[in-house]
Amino acid sequence: MKRLLILGPLILFVILAGFLAVGLHKDPSEVPSPLVGKPAPQFSLPRLDDAQQSFSPKEMLGQVWLFNVWASWCAACREEHPVLLELAKTNAVPLYGMDYKDTQEAAQKWLQNGGGNPYIHSVMDETGRVGIDFGVYGVPETYLIDKKGIIRYKQTGAITTKLLSDTILPLVKRLQAE
């Protein structure tokens, strides 16, 4: 009995240390999404450039495209923005955006002051309801959606040039060829 009282806490400590060691080697930016492999949530939201017009993912069926969630108040979005501007110049994949929990005025001003608008269209999700449907943890987040409207990849956090060239664009090419 005395032996069990000594070994019990030691065994528990070793198990907890093992979980901690495994957790420390994981990338905290890799947040698994239950939506990867499932249809992208459907919505119709007003466009940022013209609130009288709307955009819906249904318009993109038959195309591989990126959906980037951003906001004018987002610091990481500022880091990501030059990468998206360069991506837009390549025409490698259609890029659409969603301004998340923001105002139209602040978003438009941010795009003007940030060096330009990389998006074909950006929509406004002022209340965050569509963001909830997509499982947005924070901004920026980017979803790669295939020709059938299935989410094939999710990036939580800013897209870097390396991530774009090593992961996203090769997947885009593969999906476009399917």
Tell me the CATH number at 140: 3.40.30.10
Under 8 Å between Cβ of 123 and 54: yes
Domain extent for 147? 37-177
The answer as to whether 169 is a domain residue is yes
pLDDT tens-digit readout, 124-134: 999 999 999 99
Q: Name the domain count of the chain.
A: 1
**pTM higher than the cut 0.95:** no
| Secondary-structure percent of the chain, ordered helix, strand, coil, rounded to 5 | 45, 20, 40
* 160 pLDDT more than 90: yes
The answer as to whether 22 is a domain residue is no
Determine the pLDDT at residue 66. Answer: 98
* 20 pLDDT more than 90: no
Position 137 confidence tier, pLDDT thresholds 50, 70, 90: confident
- Burial label, 163 (beta-carbon count in 10 A; 0-12, 13-18, 19+): middle
User: What's the rounded Cα separation, in Å, for the pair 94 and 101?
Assistant: 23
